[in-house]
């Protein structure tokens, strides 16, 4: 059974940084694309960024481009979301997701596996 566990969320001041981690178990991690999504209160879950299973391709939402970076460490079966220059509007629950042989896609329904989410709060 594929399981994803996020960590690294917390409270940070505007302009600060956080790095989220997503540990994947029960699967051959290197076969899976990783996506990151977020959901703020009262809003729909939205795409943040993704990295293909090969690690060659990445994609980002316009709202985070240039501030957030996605990476992966296949040896540690872990995906990362480095978030810099955080803004109050980045406040949300952040979720990682995985899809076998996937590309760096923003389409939420292509990811069958999801983590439980980690809260990120950015104060002004």
Q: Mind listing the pLDDT tens digit for each residue in 4-22?
A: 999 999 999 999 999 999 9
CB count in 10 Å sphere of residue 73? 12
Q: Are strands 68-73 and 78-83 parallel, antiparallel or unpaired?
A: antiparallel
What is the CA 28 to chain-centroid distance, rounded?
18
The pLDDT value given to residue 12: 98
Q: Is the pLDDT of residue 43 over 90?
A: yes
> Which region holds residue 66: left if phi is over 0, alpha if psi is between -120 and 50, else beta?
left
What is the CA 104 to chain-centroid distance, rounded?
12
Across the strands, what pairs with 22?
6, 79
The pLDDT value given to residue 102: 86
What is the percentage of the chain residues whose pLDDT exceeds 70?
100
Tell me how far apart the alpha carbons of residues 96 and 23 are, in angstroms, rounded to a whole number: 9
Q: Is the pLDDT of residue 96 over 90?
A: yes
Averaged confidence pLDDT in the chain: 97
Tens digit of each residue's pLDDT (9 = 90 or more) over 103-118: 999 999 999 999 999 9
Tell me how far apart the alpha carbons of residues 55 and 32 are, in angstroms, rounded to a whole number: 10
């Amino acid at each position: 059974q594929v399981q994803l566990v996020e960590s690294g969320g917390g409270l940070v001041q505007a302009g600060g940084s956080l790095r989220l981690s997503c540990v994947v178990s029960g699967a051959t991690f290197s076969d899976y694309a990783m996506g990151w999504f977020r959901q703020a209160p009262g809003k729909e879950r939205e795409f943040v960024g993704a990295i293909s299973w090969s690690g060659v391709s990445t994609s980002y939402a316009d709202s985070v481009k240039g501030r957030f970076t996605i990476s992966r460490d296949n040896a540690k079966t872990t995906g990362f979301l480095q978030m810099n220059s955080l803004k109050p509007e980045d406040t949300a629950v952040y979720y990682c997701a995985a899809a076998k042989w996937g590309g760096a896609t923003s389409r939420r329904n292509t990811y069958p596996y999801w983590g439980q989410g980690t809260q990120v709060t950015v104060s002004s």
